[in-house]
Amino acid sequence: MNRLFPAALCALSVVVIMGCESKPALPEGPQPKTPAELAYEREKLLREAAMRIEAVKAEKRKELLAYGAGRLAKKKLSGGAEPKLELEFEFENVSDKDLTQAQGALQVEDASGTMLKNIKVPFQMDIKAGKTVSKSGKFPYNPKNDADVKLGATKLSELKITWQPQMYVLADGTQLIAE
């Protein structure tokens, strides 16, 4: 038994020594990240920041909607050599404060949610508290553009129209900005 013990101890020593020589020791502390890991983390941070910014903008737009909103009141397709889409817009001031300006965009979608047009609409006029103002405009109509054709052919009641407020100016000069 005494003869086996030194032999077993010798074999164990060889395994331990050989094991240490064949594997490099790991450095202590955090390991440097690979370029792929760094790129992934950067993209993740950028996405998170963009989501936070969009959430703040959405909250500000919601606050502006408490003052009023624009809408598409009428639409008509005019014929001729250069057909035009005639649109009438309204802005209703539902607040108790007078406005001197309301800027925003109307997003026009069909019933399936397909975006047809995004129309910037500036109401640069006095809008008394509790009152509605209107303005109209003519826009290019391209009969070769599917979105224009669909917008021209679809009844106003069948369109989904969303007001996206951008800036309101109160009569006292205060600017409320959503973006």
CATH class label, 69-177? mainly beta
Contact 102, 91 (CB under 8 A): yes
Contact 88, 136 (CB under 8 A): yes
> Is residue 24 very low, low, confident or very high in pLDDT (cuts 50, 70, 90)?
low
What's the pLDDT tens digit per position in 32-71?
889 999 999 999 999 999 999 989 888 888 888 899 999 9
Largest CA distance in the chain: 113
Q: Reply yes or no on whether the pLDDT at 163 is more than 80.
A: yes
pTM for this model (two decimals) = 0.69
Helix (H/G/I), strand (E/B), else coil: 82: coil
Which of 62, 55, 139 has the alpha carbon at shortest distance from 104? Answer: 62
Contact 106, 123 (CB under 8 A): no
Listed by start position, the domains of the chain span 69-177
